[in-house]
Amino acid sequence: MNSKNRYLDILPEIASALSGGKPVVALESTIISHGMPYPKNIETAKRVEQVVRDNGAIPATIAILKGRLKVGLSDGELEYLGKAGTDVIKASRRDIPFLVSGQKDGATTVAATMIIAAMAGIQLFATGGIGGVHRGGENSMDISADLEELANTDVSVVCAGIKSILDIGRTLEYLETVGVPVVGYKTDDVPAFYASSSGFKVDYRCDNPLEIGKAIRAKYDLGLNGGVLITNPVPQIYALAPEEIEKTIHDAIIEMDNRGITGKDTTPFLLARIAEQTQGESLETNIELVLNNAKLAADIAVAASGLRG
């Protein structure tokens, strides 16, 4: 057995799907503990899993519980994470060994979810938005570990683009430097999480899941490490006006700087402020874009499963 695997607990349904070459989609757990309040977080997590199932794939929600790397969570484990909320450590790459050795709990970020998914043999992951270079990052050097993971870990990510609170232009430059292709699903523009367009162009446009599946297969067949970033615009009916979001973010960043909020606390603070200023509308948009990404990830996983052999 691979030494990494002794730390993994894979639900039997997921293990069976992986061994049989069936489509599996990884899902993160930070959205459960840090992304929204209880019980909305649990309701959303279950809805996301059901969307994956409804579109022909098996969902694998990932977390760290009592030091075990969990690939797939029971209803009880989902409930536990949802109720514990922000008391659960927000876990990235650097946190994993200490959570494992200390037998502690962790809600996995994009980076940590990718790592554990790769250990289990899952190559596709659906999330809301990815992290990136923070505004002012040229001075603070605040750059999300998500970008390094995309460059090095063989898991492709479906998202609604780069979070609006970040410096999208610099994030795209970083991704280009480390060789991560940015795909737009039925769009030429990089979406900006709450908004359907950031004003920046994707590297490649793909108009069907099979096209994306073939590109991912070719990447790994060629031995090119890292993931593909698949951006999927939020459905227009749920999209927020870019100029309104930008003003809210600008004001929240000033407040954040004045209060000395840095590091891991910045994203939760900014998202909370946006939710307050939009009177909860941003939370509903967040939920809808995650559901939309889960559907696309399942469609790609199903398409890619037909390419094996």
Choosing from 90, 163, 219, 295, the catalytic residue is: 163
**Phi, then psi, of 278 in degrees rounded to 5:** -95, 10
Residue 105's closest CA among 76, 71, 70, 59?
70
Decide: helix, strand or coil at residue 205.
strand
- What 39-46 contacts at long range (C-beta under 8 Å, 24+ apart), as own/partner pairs, is 39/82, 40/283, 40/287, 41/82, 41/85, 42/78, 42/79, 42/82, 44/287, 44/290, 45/78, 45/82, 46/75, 46/78
- The pair of structure tokens assigned to 220 is 């790994």
Tokens 């639900």 belong to: 11
Rounded to whole angstroms, how far apart are CA atoms 124 and 227? 9
Other CB atoms within a 10 A radius of the CB of residue 281 amount to: 15
Q: Which of 28, 49, 90, 295 is catalytic?
A: 28
Strands 156-159 and 229-231 turn out to be parallel
Residue 79 falls in the annotated catalytic set:
no
Please say if 28 is a catalytic residue.
yes
Please list the active-site residues.
28, 163
